[in-house]
Amino acid sequence: MTVPDESNHPRVLALVARFQVIDAGMRDLPLYNGKIGIEAIGFRPFGEALLGILLTPWFMNLLLLPVVPQPMEMAALGKSVPVALPAGMRNFVVGGDQEIGLYQACSLHSPLLQFKLPGQARAEAKRLLASLMTPRPGEAGSTSGVDRRRLLFGQVAAGPRA
Domain segments of the chain as ranges: 10-152
| Per-residue pLDDT, 136 | 83
Task: Tell me which DSSP letter residue 23 carries.
Answer: H
What is the C-alpha separation between 142 and 48, in angstroms, rounded? 19
Band of residue 162 on the pLDDT scale cut at 50, 70, 90: very low
Q: Which of 38, 42, 49 is nearest to 125 (CA)?
A: 42
Sign of the dihedral through C-alpha 57, 107, 98, 42: positive
What is the C-alpha separation between 104 and 49, in angstroms, rounded? 10
pLDDT digits (tens, 9 = 90+) for 1-23: 577 788 899 999 999 999 999 99
How many CB atoms are located within 10 Å of the residue 91 CB? 11
Q: In CATH, what is the architecture of 10-152?
A: 2-Layer Sandwich (3.30)
| Per-residue pLDDT, 148 | 54
| Per-residue pLDDT, 139 | 53
Using DSSP's 3-state secondary structure scheme, residue 18 falls into helix
Q: 81: which strand partners?
A: 92
| Element at 120 (helix H, strand E) | helix 120-132
Distances (CA, A) of 54 to 58, 65, 109, 133: 11, 10, 11, 16
pLDDT digits (tens, 9 = 90+) for 96-125: 999 999 999 999 999 999 999 889 999 999
Q: Give the least confident one: 23-37, 100-114, 132-146.
A: 132-146
pLDDT digits (tens, 9 = 90+) for 46-100: 999 999 999 999 999 999 999 999 999 999 999 999 999 999 999 999 999 999 9
pLDDT above 50 (res 161)? no
pLDDT above 70 (res 155)? no
